Amino acid sequence: MRAAVMTAYEQPLTIETVPDPACPPDGVVVAVRATGVCRSDWHGWMGHDPSIALPHVPGHELCGVVAEVGSAVRGWEPGARVTVPFCCGCGICEPCRLGETQICERDFQPGFTAWGSFAEYVALPRADLNLVAVPDELGDVEAASLGCRFMTAWAALHVHGQVRAGEWVAVHGCGGVGLAAVMIATAAGARVIAVDIDPAKLERARALGAEHAVAEEPVAAIRELTGGGAHVSIDALGLPVTCTNSIRSLRRRGRHVQVGLLLGDARSVALPMARVIAHELRVFGVHGMAVRHYDGMLRAIASGALRPGELVAKTISLDEVGDELASMGRFAQEGVSVVAL
Ligand SMILES: [Zn+2]
Ligand SMILES: [Zn+2]
């Protein structure tokens, strides 16, 4: 098969012909039709991810068609169009047994712990647990764009934040996952306040349904606009300042969801815990989404209430994926890029 192979960190990926993946007995081989390019791929390419062993094939946001089925698989046949969450479960550990595959103790992450989907084929284990059928209403590129940022934003709002119609939702940081959160919260009937320092991103957020756009002094502005604070607030960027701003912009009993990854020196952030206690705030982390929550999200998309395709900025070929990855360190992304095979 053709694959985009990483043989050294920070060096261009090379398109090579490599052996087709072997099908695991409990898994499948998927013929990749589309695969998203994500900032976590860039981190892997930079050498920030210890789970990657070289040579390596990145890619974790995929949509494809089942090409081969392992002998122990019960629920899938060749020809099924599928996606998977970026964090697949083992099915055996305690979180998996509770249905929380996204925090599996022995997780399988295509494109990190094994070769991923920047290739014509990708092998995926534990197919009966991890595979998700893609409804006909979704195109391949659209389905690939769900697997990481979009489904994390859905989980932040619906699984953790428990957003309800009429509530105020503040979104701190309007990159890919932030804009997905704006779209999802708006579709849920919430009133959205978008926060970013970039006017172009705020413009996008408004177009996707944000009622207010705030560039400066977000805590004071949000408390003023909402008459006391947001019900749900999301740090979609992952900086100490956006994290604490998000918590401080909540009303009493409000829910903060940390979506943006806190990396390097930001791994330990000093939180305003006195306020968390006094106002009974709730603070959640989110690490993707369990397989069992896909259904609600896919129904919302199939009904037309959500349009993840609008967040896809461009479609590229497999030959262009190396340049796309390298450019992520130089430019802020204009939205999600997806490779079509
Ligand atoms: Zn597990
Ligand atoms: Zn991703």
SS (HEC) of 298-341: HHHHHCCCCCHHHHEEEEECHHHHHHHHHHCCCCCCCCEEEEEC
Mean pLDDT (the chain) is 95
Task: Return d(Cα 215, Cα 333) in angstroms, integer.
Answer: 19
Q: In the predicted model, is pLDDT for residue 147 greater than 90?
A: no
Q: Pick the ligand that lies closest to the CA of residue 129.
A: 1
Tokens of 217: 């002094």
Residue matched to tokens 């932040």? 156
Q: What is the pLDDT of residue 332?
A: 61
Q: In the predicted model, is pLDDT for residue 235 greater than 90?
A: yes
Sign of the torsion formed by the C-alpha atoms of 42, 238, 312 and 34: positive
Distance 176 CA to ligand 2 centre (A): 10
Task: Return d(Cα 284, Cα 255) in angstroms, integer.
Answer: 7
| Burial environment of residue 95 by CB neighbours within 10 A (0 to 12, 13 to 18, 19 or more) | middle
42: amino acid identity, one letter: W
Helix (H) or strand (E) run with residue 121 in it: strand 121-124
Tokens of 95: 């979180």
Dihedral angle, C-alpha 198, 273, 268, 163, nearest 10 °: -50
- pLDDT bracket for residue 254 (50, 70, 90): very high
Q: Pick the ligand that lies closest to the CA of residue 107.
A: 1
Q: Of the ranges 105-119, 163-177, 256-270, 318-332, which one carries the lowest mean pLDDT score? A: 318-332
Task: Return d(Cα 59, Cα 41) in angstroms, integer.
Answer: 7
Q: Pick the ligand that lies closest to the CA of residue 336.
A: 2
Distance 35 CA to ligand 2 centre (A): 10
Tokens of 96: 């998996």
- pLDDT bracket for residue 330 (50, 70, 90): confident
- The conformation of residue 37, written as its DSSP 8-state character, comes to E
50-81 pLDDT, tens digit per residue, is 899 999 999 999 999 999 999 999 999 999 99
Tokens of 155: 């989980």
Q: What is the pLDDT of residue 333?
A: 63
Average pLDDT over residues 96-121: 97
- pLDDT bracket for residue 39 (50, 70, 90): confident
Task: Return d(Cα 322, Cα 42) in angstroms, integer.
Answer: 10
Distance 312 CA to ligand 2 centre (A): 13
Task: Return d(Cα 282, Cα 293) in angstroms, integer.
Answer: 21
Share of the chain above pLDDT 90, in %: 91
Q: What is the pLDDT of residue 250?
A: 98
How many angstroms separate the Cα of 110 from the Cα of each of 93, 95, 316, 331? 19, 19, 20, 25
The three-point CA angle 61-314-137 to 5° equals 60
What's the N-to-C CA distance of the chain in angstroms?
12
- pLDDT bracket for residue 334 (50, 70, 90): low
Q: In the predicted model, is pLDDT for residue 252 greater than 90?
A: yes
Q: What is the pLDDT of residue 15?
A: 97
Average pLDDT over residues 275-283: 98
Task: Return d(Cα 170, Cα 296) in angstroms, integer.
Answer: 22
Neighbours of 92 (CB within 10 A): 12
Distance 40 CA to ligand 1 centre (A): 21
Yes or no: say if 259 and 156 are a contact pair by the CB < 8 Å rule.
Answer: yes
Distance 251 CA to ligand 2 centre (A): 31
Q: Is the peptide bond before 55 cis (omega within 30 degrees of 0)?
A: yes
Give residue 124's Cα distance to chain centre: 18
Distance 225 CA to ligand 1 centre (A): 43
Give residue 103's Cα distance to chain centre: 14
